[in-house]
Amino acid sequence: MKYSAFILAMAALPAAANTEINGMVEAKCVIQTDTSGVYGNPTADKLSTASSDGGVIPVVRYDVAIADYYLAKISHPTEFSSSPALSDTVTWTGETSVSQTSDAGMSAYDTNKVVYGSTTEFDLTIAGSTWFKTTSTASYGFGKAFPGGNYTAIVVAECIAK
Amino acid sequence: MLNKVLIFSIFATAAFSHDMTPAYPDLKPSHVSGVSKVEMSLFNARSDVKYYQIEVFDKNWANIPFSSTYRIIKLEHKERKNFDVYIRNMDIDRAVYLCTTSKISKSKSTRPFVASKICSRLDGPQA
């Protein structure tokens, strides 16, 4: 009888429950293609992404969730991934730099970048998003005209855990 | 001047991403003796890429032998896939980087113009 009264009393209490929402922020790097790049053809022997040459500079965005966990390595092209048959050599130049940041401190990335060969390395010491722009120029032979056709080249964007 | 149309591009599309976690994966014992396992997760938000290559490297970027269900992993756009990588214990001390790299299609219509590569570190601290 006592037990029945107790159970009834409990049932009369308003029901309440706590529901937890759990989340975790882990070290993570996301590479995102932000802006399409296009080669302009200002002279017959030159392809260039510079806006003054009629091109569009490609931009890649890196998002890192936690500071100081990743290195960004971006390489400008040193060959065409597809092109018409070329009988002469192509001279490649390029450069990668910071174009936009989500944190003012990231502007130091440009000062501290390390360049070797066609690769530029940035130490991602601050959490957030950084946009990198990569210029690319290809010059053909000695003043020779590039054959007509489609040319494609690849920028390699790497994110390496430190 | 010249009656030809030249189309040159480095990137064809915008806002496509590649994401792999964890940054510092745990090495766990596998069901095979003498072999350790790493559990990884890969997310493909690149509509221009469907295949990613898995590779394991030492500190000098020399290849380390490994086994996985996939060497080339197929991921549809916005798909996430978990995968395991098996490394012999005798190679564990040398294995430093576990990377996935976007693969380029030969098809002209879907050819991507940026290769993305993300590497986790097998010898690092746990995140």
Mutate to test the interface with A, among B1, B6, B10 (most CBs of A within 10 A): B10
Tokens read off for B14: 């915008």
Residue A100 domain-assigned? yes
Residue A70 domain-assigned? yes
Distance from CA of B32 to the nearest CA of A (A): 28
Nearest CA in chain A to B108: A82
Q: Tell me which residue range forms the domain holding A141.
A: 28-161
How much is the ipTM here? 0.80
Strand segments (E) across A9-117: 29-35, 46-48, 59-64, 70-75, 80-82, 90-101, 114-116
Pairing mode of beta strands A29-35, B16-21: antiparallel
Residue A22 domain-assigned? no
Nearest CA in chain B to A80: B10
Total domains present in chain A: 1
Residue A55 domain-assigned? yes
Residue A57 domain-assigned? yes
Strand segments (E) across chain A: 29-35, 46-48, 59-64, 70-75, 80-82, 90-101, 114-116, 119-124, 128-140, 151-153, 155-161
Q: Which helix (H) or strand (E) holds A12?
A: helix A2-12
Residue A15 domain-assigned? no
Contacts of B10 in chain A (CB under 8 A): 36-39, 49, 58, 77, 134, 136, 152-155
Distance from CA of A93 to the nearest CA of B (A): 14
pLDDT by residue for chain B (127 residues), tens digit each? 333 334 444 433 335 788 999 999 999 999 999 999 999 999 998 888 899 999 999 999 999 999 999 899 999 999 999 999 999 999 999 999 999 999 876 655 444 478 899 999 999 775 4
Q: What is the mean pLDDT of chain A?
A: 89
**Cβ neighbours for A11, distance < 8 A, ≥ 6 positions apart:** none
Q: Residue A54: its pLDDT value, please?
A: 93
A58: domain CATH number is 2.60.40
The answer for A 120-149 residues in CB contact with B (under 8 A) is 134, 136, 146, 148-149
The answer for A 8-67 residues in CB contact with B (under 8 A) is 26-41, 44, 47, 49, 55, 58, 60, 63, 66
Residue A4 domain-assigned? no
CA distance linking residue B103 with residue B112, whole number of Å: 9
Contacts of B113 in chain A (CB under 8 A): 37, 58, 81, 152-155
Residue A6 domain-assigned? no
